[in-house]
Amino acid sequence: MPPRTKAKTDAAPSTMKELKDTLWKAADKLRGSMDASQYKDVILGLVFLKYVSDAFEERRAQIATELETAGHSEDQIAQLIDDGDEYTGHGVFWVPANARWGFLSENAKGVGASMGEPAKSIGLLIDESMEDIMAANPTLAATLPRLYNRDNIDQRRLGELVDLFNSARFAGQGSTRARDLLGEVYEYFLEKFAAAEGKRGGEFYTPAGVVRVLVEVLEPDHGRVYDPCCGSGGMFVQAEKFLESHKKEGSDISVFGQELNERTWRLAKMNLAIHGLNGNLASRWGDTFARDQHPDMLADFVMANPPFNIKDWARNESDPRWRYGVPPAGNANYAWIQHIISKLAPGGSAGIVMANGSMSSNSGGEGQIRAQLVEADLVSCMVALPTQLFRSTAIPVCTWFFAKDKTAGAGGSIDRTGQVLFIDARNLGHMVDRAERAFSDDDIAKIANTFRAWRGTKSATDAGLSYADEAGFSYSATLAEVQAADYALTPGRYVGTADVAGDGEDVRLKIERLSAELLTQFDESERTARLVQEQLGRVNV
């Protein structure tokens, strides 16, 4: 057993820019030897390992100081400093001696054979560290990657990675700030890796701006929050940030999720651990349609970005979730919608990102299902989003919002029974580069505040917001109007066209006036043409 490494308390914590620059430079070490999907797992695992070790050493130093101040001797401190409750009780994972970063750093080139023990590469040492940490912390069971000793991992470069990570320090500012730093770095890497992986990256990462639209509209501040296709857990992280911004604790919500892809499921579990969220992502990954791993759970809030237009999915015509109609075999969009509605508790609400085609498609019985959803008064709001929000797909997207109860009450002070709010946000956002658009805080606030004012939420009332239709942007339609549109839910059909700045003329009246003026101009043009022809005829004579 190697000696315990001494806590390093004199090193300054890294700034956010330093962390990002250092760790992305670390990613460059592996980028040439493996593809993005592989080095993502390598880098993020090391980021997590470095953080838990830094946080552990910081807490260890704090305990030693507290015991020394209380008058304990060195022998007493040595006995008490390894009390696991003193770490886990402060939100710090217990890190066994051989899993601490100091030990790995000292052995970045591996450990040679000695006293009958075989030699170990740095990759094997890291894999064993991951095993030891999971064994010591049940909440991390089956979460951390163990891939560092594989043949496709260059051990020399991995050792250089460990050396480079030495300059990144998460601790030194208190566990909460360290966790915030790590959380932001982790999300930064998820975003960067999603861009590097292209289309596949969209399977685990939803742009933060899109997630924030769902969170800010739904305001998930209590109860159970569920995502049936949770990817890397971005919905839960943004919910936690929403609570923090409103001076509430993450413990005010209980997180439930399911994910089909094993590697993405592990990313999500690590992400929740990093943000201090105790989430139930089931004991393993799995197909939500084939086997719902939370069969009896009803949620207060559901937020999801399901994969669009899946053609091959586990369809069972007798599934009780298809209360509003059996989804077509060639497209799972309405299967996701109905699964999510089946998970809503009384008074629950949901936000779902969908392909635009879901708002008006009539193929495979989807039009009839949509009509049933409208008639059941489940649809509360439809938002058309701008293009290019997703780097991984050019498919135009929208968000559906559902509510089990639209009467005046906990969901809002205004009774919106029999009404649907339509928001056309296609003109919002700004281009961050040639391929991707992003929402600003003001863009997100405009969408969320419009819905909140329409619903009469407490946040809208406190801010003095009131709702009024805005031509070209928002319109509150009755079910009769939606029925007249053959149940199409495309916002552009309802919101009309924005008035020209400074022109208060009604759009429909303006169209009628301009049409009449155009016809008059046509008549005048024909009259002028006849006069010219007559004059030319006289000249020819």
Query: In the beta sheet, which residues pair with residue 351?
Result: 303, 401
Judge if 163 and 250 occupy the same domain: no
Judge if 512 and 421 occupy the same domain: no
Predicted local distance difference test score (pLDDT) of residue 180: 56
Radius of gyration of the chain (CA): 29
With respect to residue 251, please indicate whether it lies within any of the assigned structural domains.
yes
Q: Which domain holds residue 366?
A: 217-495
Judge if 332 and 475 occupy the same domain: yes
Question: How many Cβ atoms from other residues are within 10 Å of residue 128's Cβ?
Answer: 18
Judge if 520 and 441 occupy the same domain: no
With respect to residue 161, please indicate whether it lies within any of the assigned structural domains.
yes
Nearest to 255 by CA among 185, 136, 234: 234
Predicted local distance difference test score (pLDDT) of residue 126: 97
Total domains in the fold of the chain = 3
Predicted local distance difference test score (pLDDT) of residue 440: 95
Cβ contacts of residue 145 below 8 Å, gap of 6+? 41, 42, 44, 45, 130, 266
The residue to which tokens 């003026």 are assigned: 517
Judge if 366 and 483 occupy the same domain: yes
> What's the CA gap between 245 and 249, in Å, rounded?
10
With respect to residue 134, please indicate whether it lies within any of the assigned structural domains.
yes
* CATH at residue 464: 3.40.50.150
Structure confidence by residue, pLDDT tens digits, 51-97: 889 889 989 999 999 999 999 998 889 888 999 888 988 888 999 99
Judge if 223 and 161 occupy the same domain: no
Q: Check residue 323 and report its DSSP letter.
A: T
With respect to residue 479, please indicate whether it lies within any of the assigned structural domains.
yes
Judge if 362 and 315 occupy the same domain: yes
> What's the CA gap between 288 and 445, in Å, rounded?
32
Judge if 183 and 237 occupy the same domain: no
With respect to residue 515, please indicate whether it lies within any of the assigned structural domains.
yes
This prediction's pTM = 0.79
Report whether 408 contacts 414 (CB < 8 A).
yes
Query: Helices 155-165 & 36-69, crossing angle to 10 degrees?
Result: 40
> What's the CA gap between 322 and 162, in Å, rounded?
51
Predicted local distance difference test score (pLDDT) of residue 7: 39
Judge if 423 and 489 occupy the same domain: yes
Which one of 167, 188, 209 terminates a domain? Answer: 188
Q: In the chain, which residues have pLDDT < 70?
A: 1-16, 19, 22-23, 26-38, 113, 115, 168-187, 190, 193-205, 250, 391-393, 499-513, 537-541
With respect to residue 114, please indicate whether it lies within any of the assigned structural domains.
yes
Q: Check residue 152 and report its DSSP letter.
A: T
With respect to residue 6, please indicate whether it lies within any of the assigned structural domains.
no
Judge if 120 and 149 occupy the same domain: yes
Nearest to 305 by CA among 202, 404, 402, 388: 202
* CATH at residue 151: 1.20.1260.30
With respect to residue 435, please indicate whether it lies within any of the assigned structural domains.
yes
Predicted local distance difference test score (pLDDT) of residue 54: 86
Judge if 323 and 441 occupy the same domain: yes
Judge if 529 and 381 occupy the same domain: no
Predicted local distance difference test score (pLDDT) of residue 539: 65
